[in-house]
Amino acid sequence: MIAKIFFLSLGLLLVIYVYIRVKKNLFSEKESMLWMVGSLFLLTLSLFPSIVDYFSRIIGISYPPSLLFLISMIFILFLLLRQSQQINVMHSTLKELVQRNALLESKVRKYCENNEDKN
């Protein structure tokens, strides 16, 4: 019973925390959806812990809490892959911006040199 209350409160706190972060524009809406799904999953499991037993029997896992570790590992791996993808996109964007900045600096220098020669 104590574990049920603990995980229920943990899920509620996670939902509230993500909501506050989205409201303050510290989380994007896309990323917050993943965390909301995770927290709702945690809330569902805390309200109905027999779900873990049911799915572990279907999958063939003899120790039901192992299913929770498996699900959490898959969730974390998915988040890591998503963040790696976002880092690669930002790296490409940064590279493009640096190249554009270098071209603009070159044009500004040439313009300044041409104006100094005319004076």
DSSP letters for 85-116: HHHHHHHHHHHHHHHHHHHHHHHHHHHHHHHH
Is the pTM here over 0.75, yes or no?
A: no
The segments of the chain whose pLDDT lies below 70 read 119
- pLDDT value for 88: 96
Environment class of residue 18 by beta-carbon count within 10 Å: exposed (0-12), middle (13-18) or buried (19+)?
buried
Question: Which pLDDT score is estimated for 108?
Answer: 94
pLDDT of residue 119: 63
Tell me what pLDDT residue 60 has.
Answer: 92
Per-residue pLDDT at 99: 96
Q: Where are the domains of the chain?
A: 1-47, 64-118
